Amino acid sequence: MRDNIKGGALTETTFFVLLAVYKPNHGYGIMQFIEKETNGRVVLGAGTLYGAINALAKKKWIAPFDNEADNNKKEYIITDAGKQKAREELKRMGEVYKLASAIIRGERNQ
């Protein structure tokens, strides 16, 4: 996972995984969420997904979720630190959107 440390930008994969676990979700469910919500534009392989899950767990942005009803599937949930990071990324993306929109509309000189 190559998140930009200096600028704080997350990779698209990282951001989507964080969004996918705002509710408890298992690996295959995360893959389905991302594919559905991007209209098939982003399709994760198992290696990419589980690499991202491991990295996010190491950063304590997600954590295992204890689902007593179904012990067969390991589920994950976003942590408070992960929610904070997702909010920061949303703010950063909003700033990029505003700048790009102004330049494209010709309202701002480069």
Q: What is the secondary structure of 91-105 as a DSSP string?
A: HHHHHHHHHHHHHHT
The Cα–Cα gap between 35 and 9 comes to 21
**Packed helices 46-58 and 27-37: angle between N→C axes, nearest 10 degrees:** 110
The single-letter DSSP state of residue 10 is: P
pLDDT at site 37: 97
Instruction: Residue 44: name the closest of 31, 28, 57 by CA.
Output: 31
> What class, spelled out in words, does domain 12-104 have in CATH?
mainly alpha
pLDDT tens digits, residue range 3-47?
A: 555 567 999 999 999 999 999 999 999 999 999 999 999 999 999
The Cα–Cα gap between 9 and 90 comes to 10
pTM of the model: 0.86
